[in-house]
Structure 1
Amino acid sequence: MPRYAKSRVLVLFDIDGTLLSRSGPHHRQVLEEAIWQVAGVRSTTDGIPVQGMLDGDILQCMLRQAGAAEAAPELMLAIMKKAQALYVRRCPDLREKVCPGAPQLLERLAAEGVVVGLVTGNLSRIGWRKMTQAGLRPHIRYGAFAEQGATRAELAGLALAEARRREWLEAPTVATLIGDHPNDILAARANGLRSVAVGTGVVP
């Protein structure tokens, strides 16, 4: 990890609907295939309001919807691992899916030494692969992902704590969470972060 100068500004981004308008069907497809390959259950995301949800919660909903029992922690970890491996191999080029202005904003923040991270419901390898395929990875320092917490609010708290633990921040700090879903706003409020809501997702 390179050494960074301390900053008084932290900006955390959601991915889907915030940095990317849409990333195609591949994410949903690998969740479905991972459940089939690992648990032997045919399932789908149809009818599940996946926007604003964590991938782990989506997987559990898919299992329940298919009539299966809730996955034990060991099985859930195996499903998550399989889904990430599948996605890394299948994720297409996403540069055309980047929201207007997002690359320029990330470049400016990074150039000014702002600490930039992710708070996303994506599993870690899926989230990072999206950022790589979208051409945004060089501007993002770190992230908090679905497998690291039970709620989006917990992930936002982890991201804030990690930046402090690494001594990237100095007081007084202005910390902001940018997202397209009410869950992003609630996560910001739960951690005392400033919230910026964007209209690029599915929520009006």
Structure 2
Amino acid sequence: MHSLSFYPEEMPRYAKSRVLVLFDIDGTLLRRAGPHHRQVLEEAVWQVAGVRATTEGIPVQGMLDGAILQCMLRQAGVAETAPAQMLAIMKKAQALYVRRCPDLREKICPGAPELLERLAAGGAVVGLVTGNLSRIGWRKMTQAGLRAHFRFGAFAEQAETRAELAGLALQEARRRAWLDTPMVATLIGDHPNDILAARANGLRSVAVGTGVVPLEELAQHRPDILVPDLRALKLEQLICAD
């Protein structure tokens, strides 16, 4: 795990809350955000490692960017990548994406802005748990006009699995003394990996059908709450213990 900051800037003081809500990005807050993310991963591998690698044939949904890069390199014939080189690839990909990310306001999933506004009004602690690298994730939120809703995030370069990322986010919220007791903590995502990550950390899981995984398949993984999109998710479901 790489020790990198959760935050792009210093965080202000906050009152304690009994509600923590963590969001995935792709398929949950945004959908069909364009090819730029995949393209910068491919270009970063070429610029840093001199290897022509592609995301073609890799089931990237639900994966962390680091795992995607490892798969790309192995698929291109690179058996092992030195940690320093992988960090350089990640750094290059993020720099490229920050420059190229388009306006994403039309890519926001239905109901996301309204739900985020309601959570803010209720004083909830709201963060990101995403397979995106940190600068890529924050850039997406900025270009979608959603950045101000998120207090912190856990990102791909900080762990090897989504469950570990969810655990890091929970630990950080507690370390910052943002949470009161009793507490209701929820992870919202569009992939079975999000459901499993929530379960591994004792979080309530909300699965939304705005990604590539059909609702029927998500239901097989028994999320605590299953909705077609965020418009169907009521605030009470996130703030009530039962």
| Same fold? TM cut 0.5 | yes
Question: Is residue 160 from structure 1 mapped to residue 170 from structure 2 by the alignment?
Answer: yes
* Deviation at residue 16 of structure 1 after TM alignment: 0.1
Q: Tell me what 1:178 maps to.
A: 188
Which segments of structure 1 move beyond 6 Å, counting only runs of 4 or more?
none
Partner of 2:201: 191
Q: 1:35-88, CA deviations, whole angstroms, 9 ceiling, x for partnerless residues?
A: 000000001000000000000000000001111122111000000000000000
Separation of aligned partners in 1, 2:80 and 2:92? 17
**CA distance in 2: counterparts of 1:127 and 1:22, whole angstroms:** 15
CA–CA distance in 1 between the matches of 2:95 and 2:131? 17
- Identity of matched residues, %: 88
Tell me how far 1:22 sits from its aligned partner: 1.8
| 1:21 CA displacement | 1.3
Q: 1:32 aligns with which of 36, 39, 42?
A: 42
3-state secondary structure, aligned to 1:68: coil
Q: Hey, what's the Cα distance between the residues in 2 that align with 1:149 and 1:128?
A: 17
Q: Taking structure 1 as the reference length, what is the TM-score of the superposition?
A: 0.99
SS in 2 for 1:12: strand
The residue aligned with 1:49 is: 59
Structure 2 CA distance for aligned equivalents of residues 105 and 31 of structure 1: 31
The TM-score, its normalising length taken from structure 2, stands at: 0.84
How many residues align? The count is 204
- The answer on 1:14 being equivalent to 2:24 is yes
Q: Distance in 2 between matches of 1:23 and 1:149?
A: 24
The equivalences for 1:1-204 within 5 A come to 1-204=11-214
Q: Distance in 1 between matches of 2:41 and 2:133?
A: 11
Q: Which has the higher contact order (CA 8 A, sep 6+)?
A: 1
Give me the whole-angstrom Cα distance separating, in 2, the residues matched to 1:21 and 1:55. 17
Q: Distance in 2 between matches of 1:61 and 1:142?
A: 28
**Offset at 1:107?**
1.1
Distance across 1 between alignment mates of 2:20 and 2:96: 32
Alignment partners' CA distance in 2, 1:22 and 1:152: 21
The amino acid of 1:114's aligned partner reads A
- Supply the distance in 1 between the matched residues of 2:68 and 2:169 (Cα, whole angstroms): 22
Unaligned stretches of 5+ residues in structure 2: 1-10, 215-242
Task: State the alpha-carbon separation in 2 of the partners of residues 4 and 113 from structure 1.
Answer: 9
Mean alpha-carbon deviation: is it higher for 189-198 or for 103-112?
A: 103-112
1:124, CA displacement in angstroms?
Answer: 0.1
Residue identity opposite 1:70 in structure 2: E
1:111 Cα deviation from its structure 2 partner: 1.5
Deviations 1:133-173 (A, max 9, x none): 00000111100000001100000000000000000001111
Which amino acid in the other structure matches residue 154 of structure 1? E
Distance 1:141 1:184 in 2: 20
